[in-house]
Amino acid sequence: MKDEIKRRPGMKIGAFCAMALILTGCMGQDPVDSLHHSLEKAAESEKPFQEEQNTLKELEAKENQLYDSVMKLNMDDYKKIVALSDKALENVSKREEHLMKKSETEFEEAKTSAEHIKEKDIKEKADAAANLMEKRYTSYGTMYKEYKKALELNKKLYMQLKDKDLTRDDLDQQIDKVNASYEKILKYSGEFNEQTEKYNKAREDLYDAAGYRVKKS
């Protein structure tokens, strides 16, 4: 293996984990207040993902080191290949544990609050913020699914590496699949970050119009 190492793009998905969208709201009050409450709870609920982001980054870095170590070996070092592959599989399992899925329980409540706002100027800004929030939410979901897929492809890769009968062609095909998945994650991450920037700007515009202060994290 060592003469033909295939490199992989790094897993740059920290922002995705840190910015995962969780919404909680409260109804039975002024729709502007209700929407404001939902958006503030969303921002508060995302804070735990920052810790998960750091953990995932560390695990990703370790997995890349294990991958490089395995690919520098040949079948004469079969026992080392198996040991490193087992460590990599354990790493993948840990990443699955720290990959947190957003909750959409209160998402519709935030949209409903925006729909019930009467003041024209505030309603326009509220609708814009709600629409961007939905796009951001959808973008997150796409990225989450692809990351889960990448983890499964990684599992298969390390299981293959423990197979003494593995051919170079089969290994290269699996590495190509992993690379393709990682590249999609990078693409979806960029899209998510773009939607996040637009959403944050729309939220600020809404708060300005409604007379709320934007809390800086």
At 173-196, the pLDDT tens digits run 999 999 999 999 999 999 999 999
Residue 5 counted as domain residue: no
pLDDT, average across residues 2-18: 45
Cα angle 98, 103, 108 (rounded to 5 degrees) comes to 165
Percentage of the chain exceeding pLDDT 70:
80
CATH number, domain with residue 115: 1.20.120.570
Can you give the pLDDT at residue 125? 92
Residue 95 counted as domain residue: yes
For the chain, how many structural domains are there in total?
1
Residue 215 counted as domain residue: no
Q: Range of 136's domain?
A: 14-210
Interval 55-95: pLDDT, tens: 888 999 999 999 999 999 988 899 999 999 999 999 999 99
Residue 109 counted as domain residue: yes
The Cα 49–Cα 53 span in angstroms is: 6
Can you give the pLDDT at residue 3? 43
Residue 144 counted as domain residue: yes
Residue 172 counted as domain residue: yes
Residue 116 counted as domain residue: yes
The more confidently predicted of residues 19 and 165 is 165
Q: Poorest-confidence range of 4-13, 32-41, 53-62, 70-79?
A: 4-13
Would you state the structure tokens that stand for residue 146, as one six-digit string? 């692809």
Interval 123-159: pLDDT, tens: 999 999 988 988 988 898 899 999 999 999 999 999 9
Beta carbons within 10 angstroms of residue 31's beta carbon:
19
Say if residue 106's pLDDT is above 50. Answer: yes
Can you give the pLDDT at residue 148? 94
Say if residue 204's pLDDT is above 90. Answer: yes
Residue 216 counted as domain residue: no
What integer best gives the mean pLDDT of the chain?
Answer: 82
